[in-house]
């Protein structure tokens, strides 16, 4: 099973960017999403932005992921 996590793109340098979620920042490749802009929510999988989603969808996805983590006692 694969998992892509929505993160906000906070910095862009050509085909690389920095995405953030809950204060954690990661460098990501934007080669697969060349039109992603600073402020967009991107789906990050294995260091690559594989999609762009709106803020409502990102927040809904994060809520489900947090609920799953809480139910497992991993937070």
Number of domains comprising the chain: 1
Q: What CATH number is associated with residue 54?
A: 2.30.30.140
Q: Can you give the pTM of this predicted structure?
A: 0.88
27 vs 37: CA distance, rounded Å: 14
12 vs 37: CA distance, rounded Å: 7
Range of the domain at 39: 5-72
Span 19-59, pLDDT tens digits: 999 999 999 999 999 999 999 999 999 999 999 999 999 99
43 vs 60: CA distance, rounded Å: 13
């Amino acid at each position: 099973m694969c998992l892509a996590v929505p993160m906000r793109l906070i910095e862009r340098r050509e085909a690389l960017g920095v995405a953030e979620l809950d204060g954690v920042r990661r460098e990501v490749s934007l080669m697969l999403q060349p039109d992603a802009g600073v402020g967009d929510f991107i789906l990050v999988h294995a260091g690559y932005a594989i999609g762009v989603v709106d803020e409502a969808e990102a927040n809904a996805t994060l809520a489900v992921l947090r609920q799953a983590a809480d139910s497992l006692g991993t937070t």
